[in-house]
Amino acid sequence: MTTYHCPQDGTRSPISALTWCCPVCRGPWDLDFRPAAGLTPHVLPGRANSLWRYEEILPLTAPEVSLGEGRTPLVPLTDTVSAKLDYLMPTLSFKDRGAVMLAELARRLNPDRVVADSSGNAGTSVAAYCARAALPCTVYVPEGTSPKKTEQIRAHGARLVTVPGGREATALAARAAADEPGVFYASHVFNPYFLHGTKTYVYELWEDLGGRLPDTLVVPVGNGTLLLGAALATAELHALGLIAARPRLVAVQAEAVSPLAEAFRAGAEDLLPPGSGAPAPTLAEGIAIPRPPRARQILAAVRASGGTFLTVSEDEIRDSQRDLAARGFYVETTGVACWAAVRDGSAHRPPGNVVVPLCGAGVKTGMAG
């Protein structure tokens, strides 16, 4: 049976135990899973037009809760930069890639209830897929979460709990609930099945680009679920002999909340000691994570790829949202961060071919003031 293991101390647990974190260090789990051989571009025609087409590399197959997620378009923005339109997902964000894996796993484990915490998009995804799986669900969100996102969570039938304070307080409240018996914690941070869902972002690029990947993948980073999924996919593709070299991973954070960028620039392997006071507000609410639990893995993945961290200002986020809208793409404020980092005129645009994700639809937040 596939098992969880702790990358810090080696502790293991069966997935059926509903143990949401390592009981020794309280850190996130990784998954003991190795993709099967046999995936090539030639076997894909005729398969389901969703992320489940990559069955050889997924830890779950034959799902019952799919909403047709995945297979989002890749569209040029410039001669060298293309955008993957992951806001064209069933719940209008890339989080569907991981949420469907968590809901399918929960359905098979049949817990008493599912809990999740989120700044919005992960919560809407988990709520939708739990509705599809007929699983009772509670979603914890910080006060100030976009009303459109909380409306969507309620619409899917989930119980919504608004937590005073910021993202960290919300996570602590959800984890306390997750410690109760019979609860499945659908954590997009602690549960590695989520990362095995987000890695399909890169497998789709590999398929659409004819069995290759771009020179650079630019990814927004808060808790790092898309970046770590991308790192997982590039490592698998390389190990399977399906790509000759791995692309650079460039991580983007908002200047206002950029703990990983600060640690990277300091040459640190983990987060720096926290400063005093609360983090500054940012329009990029989806990546405003002051203490991401997988920080060490994120920093190591970026360095191993030869990549770097970039930060963007609030003005750059506003301008880039308007710029994308003028090009026909209506994207939420977090989802424009990568374009803000590498758009026309940027001194930071990496050389070669670049792909950025447009992660969430603009209807989730509206236009920045």
Residue 128 · residue 156 · CB < 8 Å: yes
Going across the sheet that includes 216-220, the strands are 74-76, 81-84, 354-357, 216-220, 248-254, 308-312
Going across the sheet that includes 183-185, the strands are 159-163, 137-142, 113-117, 183-185
d(CA 89, CA 96): 7
**What is residue 1's predicted lDDT score, i.e. its pLDDT?**
57
| For residue 74, pLDDT beyond 60 | yes
d(CA 141, CA 50): 29
Q: Give the other-Cβ count within 10 Å of 228's Cβ.
A: 26
d(CA 143, CA 208): 40
Strand partners, 12: 5
Concatenate the DSSP letters of all residues of 183-195 into one string: EEE--TTT-HHHH
| For residue 119, pLDDT beyond 90 | no
Q: Residue 37 has which token pair? A: 């051989």
Strand partners, 24: none
d(CA 41, CA 356): 23
Q: Give the other-Cβ count within 10 Å of 140's Cβ.
A: 24
How far does Cα 358 stand from its chain's mean position?
A: 12
Query: Residue 223 — φ and ψ, nearest 5°?
Result: -85, -10
**What is residue 311's predicted lDDT score, i.e. its pLDDT?**
97
What is the average per-residue pLDDT within 165-174?
A: 90
What is the average per-residue pLDDT within 50-77?
A: 97
Q: Which of residues 116 and 345 earns the better pLDDT score?
A: 116
Confidence of residue 347 (pLDDT cuts 50, 70, 90): confident
What is the average per-residue pLDDT within 192-215?
A: 98
H or E segment to which residue 197 belongs: helix 192-198
Concatenate the DSSP letters of all residues of 243-269 into one string: -SSPPEEEEEEETTB-HHHHHHHTT-S
User: Which range among 54-63, 78-87, 116-125, 276-285 shows the weakest confidence by mean pLDDT?
Assistant: 276-285
d(CA 147, CA 145): 6
Angle at 247 between CA 243 and CA 253, to 5 degrees: 150
CA distances from residue 198 to 37, 139, 203, 288, 337 in whole angstroms, order as listed = 20, 20, 10, 19, 18
Query: What mean pLDDT is reported for the chain?
Result: 95
Count of alpha carbons within 13 angstroms of residue 308, beta-carbon side: 9
H or E segment to which residue 176 belongs: helix 167-178
**Stated length of the chain:** 369
Q: What is the pTM of this model?
A: 0.96
| For residue 348, pLDDT beyond 90 | no
What is the average per-residue pLDDT within 317-342?
A: 97
Residue 185 · residue 194 · CB < 8 Å: no
What is the average per-residue pLDDT within 293-317?
A: 97
**What is residue 264's predicted lDDT score, i.e. its pLDDT?**
98
Say which DSSP state 361 is in.
B
What is the average per-residue pLDDT within 45-60?
A: 96
**What is residue 356's predicted lDDT score, i.e. its pLDDT?**
98
Angle at 290 between CA 229 and CA 103, to 5 degrees: 40
**What is residue 282's predicted lDDT score, i.e. its pLDDT?**
93
Going across the sheet that includes 30-31, the strands are 12-14, 3-5, 30-31
Classified as helix, coil or strand, 312 is: strand
In this predicted model, what pLDDT tens digit does every residue of 311-320 receive, in sequence order? Answer: 999 999 999 9
d(CA 251, CA 291): 16
| For residue 55, pLDDT beyond 90 | yes
Confidence of residue 123 (pLDDT cuts 50, 70, 90): very high
Residue 230 · residue 236 · CB < 8 Å: no
Q: Please, what is the angle between helix 96-109 and helix 225-239, to 10°?
A: 80
Question: Among 226, 247, 217, 150, which Cα is nearest to 354's?
Answer: 217
Name residues whose C-beta falls within 8 Å of residue 128's C-beta, 6 or more positions apart in sequence: 67, 90, 91, 96, 99, 152, 156
In this predicted model, what pLDDT tens digit does every residue of 234-281 receive, in sequence order? Answer: 999 999 999 999 999 999 999 999 999 999 999 999 999 987 667 789
Q: Residue 234 has which token pair? A: 């590039």
What is the average per-residue pLDDT within 144-154?
A: 92
What is the average per-residue pLDDT within 123-129?
A: 97
In this predicted model, what pLDDT tens digit does every residue of 6-39 receive, in sequence order? Answer: 999 999 999 999 999 999 999 999 999 999 999 9
